[in-house]
């Protein structure tokens, strides 16, 4: 059974650019959540999508956005990148309400 897939795995961008990250959940999982991990702030919740709708959003600026497609794949976008956006971005998929959250391997974004 395939795991959660995130692409790309590594990315280097320049300040001011924008970036799109992709997450393909486990087959049958309809909930996808995104998290940011930095050395200073640890793991923080970005947003959750369920059936193409954003159900919850963390305390991040509007430069961070996301969407979910009908096949449950999700993308997150960060516009006008800042140095502080350098982080590991993780997505997790689950069947909402069930004991089956699976994390992806993450995308490591470096902003220079």
SS3 letters across the chain: CCCCEEECCEEEECCCCCEEEEEECCCCCCEEEEEEEECCCEEEEEEEEECCEEEEECCCCCCEEEEECCCCCEEEEECCCCHHHCEEEEEEEECCCCCCCEECCCEEEEEC
Q: CB 102 → other proteins: shortest distance, Å?
A: 7
**Residue 8: closest CA among 25, 18, 23:** 23
- Please tell me the count of residues contacting other proteins according to CB under 8 A: 26
Q: Is 11 in the site for other proteins (CB under 8 A)?
A: no
State which residue, 15 or 52, has the beta carbon closest to other proteins: 52
Question: Mask 14-43, x = binds other proteins (CB under 8 A)?
Answer: -----------------x-x-x-x----xx
Q: Is 58 in the site for other proteins (CB under 8 A)?
A: yes
Q: Is 63 in the site for other proteins (CB under 8 A)?
A: no
Contacting positions for other proteins (CB under 8 A): 31, 33, 35, 37, 42-45, 48, 50, 55-56, 58, 88, 90, 92, 94, 96-97, 99, 101-103, 105-106, 108
């Amino acid at each position: 059974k395939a795991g959660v897939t995130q692409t790309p795995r590594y990315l280097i961008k320049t300040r001011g650019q924008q970036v799109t990250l992709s997450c393909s959940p486990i087959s049958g999982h309809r909930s996808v959540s995104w998290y940011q991990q930095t050395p200073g702030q640890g793991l923080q919740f970005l947003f959750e999508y369920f059936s193409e709708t954003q159900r919850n959003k963390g305390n991040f600026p509007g430069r961070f956005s996301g969407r979910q497609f009908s096949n449950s794949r999700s993308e997150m976008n960060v516009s006008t990148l800042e140095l502080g956006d350098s982080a590991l971005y993780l997505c997790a998929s689950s069947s909402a309400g069930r004991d089956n959250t699976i994390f992806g391997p993450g995308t490591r974004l470096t902003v220079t």
